[in-house]
Amino acid sequence: MEASKFDLTIMGAGPGGYVGAIYAAQRGLKVALVEGREVGGVCLHAGCIPTKTLVASVDLLRQLKTATQRGLGSASGETSFSVLQERRKRVVNQLTQGVKFLLNKQGVQIFHGWGSFLDRHTISIHDPTGGMEVGRLESPAIMIATGSKSSNLRGLACDGVAILHSGDMLSLMQCPKHLIIIGGGYIGCEFAGILSALGGEVTVLEAQGRLLPGMDAELGQTLDRVFRKAGIKVVLNAQVKSVKHGEMVRVDLEDGTHWEADKVLVSVGRVAHTEGLGLEAAGVALNGTAVAVNEHLETNVPGIYAVGDVTGKMPLAHVASAQARYVVDRILIGLGRVSAIQEPGGAMASRTGFDYGAVPACVFTSPEIASVGLTESEAKEKGMSVRTSRFPFSACGKAVAIGETEGFVKLVAEEQSGRVVGGQILGPHATELIGQVTLAVRARLTAGQLCETIFAHPTLAEAIHEAAEGLFGQPIHSIGRPRPVSAAGSPPS
């Protein structure tokens, strides 16, 4: 079978693949995009977008239930899980059609099927239903962007009925009466908040000593307190021994205790999706279960790159998109199309490697949680001398006005220079506010420069400004202790 020729072939149309395809086509490359399912990937169909659609609905439900506290008449807050799911489907379909439109307008050729390597330059496409070969593509550059899939507990197979993965949750048309969530990471915590707000009894079993174990300790500890106050049971240091499915699903723990529920959600992480890609035919090496890449996201085979979850780096949609742009910039230089990247957003191609130092991570619970850069403990582990400042939303006028005062903004800055190296936010709209802290970390701004910046009033963002002032012991709306710093990090006089 004769192969069609392209400048770039991308395997997978998730937030890494489709963004990379559009970005490359905008810069004049002839691009082929191979996807066996709908464009958009897990993020659009079974992850970010559908779950945040449900989160938006339950956030409104929470507000309705507090109507009298906000000076309004009472509201019933009655809802139907099936109606919420129908809205979720409409949102996903709208965005899917939008992505298809953009790809078509940019001239990206979409091939519906499963791709696998025949050699280092050739991809075979197989029909997603029958498995027969339907085409071949040849390219000097190939990007692997096939994402990841939910992990299983050892010895436990999810059946999609009583023992579920996160994607299975989105096919339910009724809220489980009692749900056990194995795993207190961001996915498990988000579903815990959604199902609890809809009236379900939720128990979270987390193997480590706190929720959100990969984030700043205070974030997980505060969320634990909020969950318990909302009636969500949280069991820490819960080592699962076995899961048995009978009339009810029973989860036995190593300490001899057990829990029973209608359904169990297994949320213990994700693993790179590399099966069936024919990596051995191209000579592409793995690092464990993930595709091995260097600091420039290139595999051991020149011209073959990998981005997103399949690399095992940071399993976040926005990381996949940023990695894809980075890779396209390097491909443009490698193909001799440009000698240097001049377009906005393309400057990373001239760096020594992809920069993970200013990547925000968000958890869409209530309250929201977001983090970027280093935590205080991480900075100290690196041998850095840092100081931190914590400003509570209870002292922020806008937070009091909207009735959402739970949480805080925390900033981490170098002791001598005052450079902001990290920040954590728990509170209203934290996932939006973290963008301002991300910019500060990315641009290597000092706390003094944040203090010199005028923040609009009344806004939640003022909490960031107050936290910056708190690094010098000089917040206006809370009590601080004056702390001398070097001239590089000092506030305006």
CATH number for the domain spanning 345: value is: 3.50.50.60
365 pLDDT tier (thresholds 50, 70, 90): very high
Question: 45, 126, 178, 457: which is the annotated catalytic residue?
Answer: 457
The residue among 350, 385, 410 that closes a domain is 350
Say if residue 227 is in the same domain as residue 83: no
Q: Domain of residue 414: give its range.
A: 367-489
Identity of residue 96: T
Which two tokens mark 470? 């708190």
Say if residue 277 is in the same domain as residue 142: yes
246 occurs within a structural domain: yes
Which two tokens mark 430? 């934290």
Say if residue 145 is in the same domain as residue 24: yes
pLDDT of residue 481: 62
Residue 493 has pLDDT above 50, yes or no: no
pLDDT tens digit sequence for 204-219 = 999 999 999 999 999 9
pLDDT of residue 246: 84
Tell me the mean pLDDT in the region 303-332: 96
Measured CA to CA, the distance from residue 104 to residue 110 in angstroms comes to 8
pLDDT of residue 289: 93
Tell me the mean pLDDT in the region 423-429: 98
487 pLDDT tier (thresholds 50, 70, 90): very low
In this structure, of 59-63, 135-139, 231-235, 393-397, the range with the lowest mean pLDDT score is: 59-63
158 pLDDT tier (thresholds 50, 70, 90): confident
138 occurs within a structural domain: yes
pLDDT tens digit sequence for 449-485 = 999 999 999 999 999 999 999 999 888 898 766 565 5
Residue 11 has pLDDT above 60, yes or no: yes
324 secondary structure, DSSP code: H
118 occurs within a structural domain: yes
Say if residue 214 is in the same domain as residue 233: yes
Which two tokens mark 205? 């079993």
Of the candidates 200, 191, 182, 188, the residue with the CA atom closest to the CA atom of residue 253: 182
Measured CA to CA, the distance from residue 211 to residue 350 in angstroms comes to 38
Query: Which has more pLDDT, 81 or 118?
Result: 118
Say if residue 382 is in the same domain as residue 459: yes
pLDDT of residue 343: 53
Structurally, the chain folds into a number of domains equal to: 3
155 occurs within a structural domain: no
Say if residue 276 is in the same domain as residue 135: yes
Say if residue 277 is in the same domain as residue 145: yes
Q: What are phi and psi of 423, to 5 degrees?
A: -165, 150
Helices (H) and strands (E) counted in the chain, each on its own, are 14, 26
233 occurs within a structural domain: yes
48 occurs within a structural domain: yes
Quote the mean pLDDT of the chain. Answer: 92
Say if residue 302 is in the same domain as residue 329: yes
Say if residue 92 is in the same domain as residue 126: yes
Residue 490 has pLDDT above 90, yes or no: no
Say if residue 102 is in the same domain as residue 249: no
- Hey, what long-range contacts does 376-381 have (CB within 8 A, 24 or more apart)? 376/216, 376/412, 376/422, 377/216, 377/217, 378/422, 379/412, 379/421, 379/422
Is 457 among the catalytic positions?
A: yes
Say if residue 121 is in the same domain as residue 171: no
154 occurs within a structural domain: no
pLDDT of residue 65: 82
pLDDT of residue 21: 98
pLDDT tens digit sequence for 76-99 = 667 788 899 999 999 999 999 999
27 occurs within a structural domain: yes
pLDDT tens digit sequence for 377-408 = 999 999 999 999 999 999 999 999 999 999 99
CATH number for the domain spanning 376: value is: 3.30.390.30
64 pLDDT tier (thresholds 50, 70, 90): confident
Q: Tell me the whole-structure pTM to 2 decimals.
A: 0.92
Which two tokens mark 178? 């009692």
pLDDT tens digit sequence for 225-265 = 999 999 999 999 999 999 988 889 999 999 999 999 999 99
pLDDT of residue 489: 57
Say if residue 127 is in the same domain as residue 232: no
Identity of residue 366: S
pLDDT of residue 347: 47
Return the percentage of the chain with pLDDT > 70, whole number.
93
The residue among 268, 301, 322 that closes a domain is 268
The residue among 268, 293, 320 that closes a domain is 268
Measured CA to CA, the distance from residue 421 to residue 416 in angstroms comes to 12
Q: Are 395 and 469 in contact (CB under 8 A)?
A: no
Q: Are 214 and 374 in contact (CB under 8 A)?
A: no
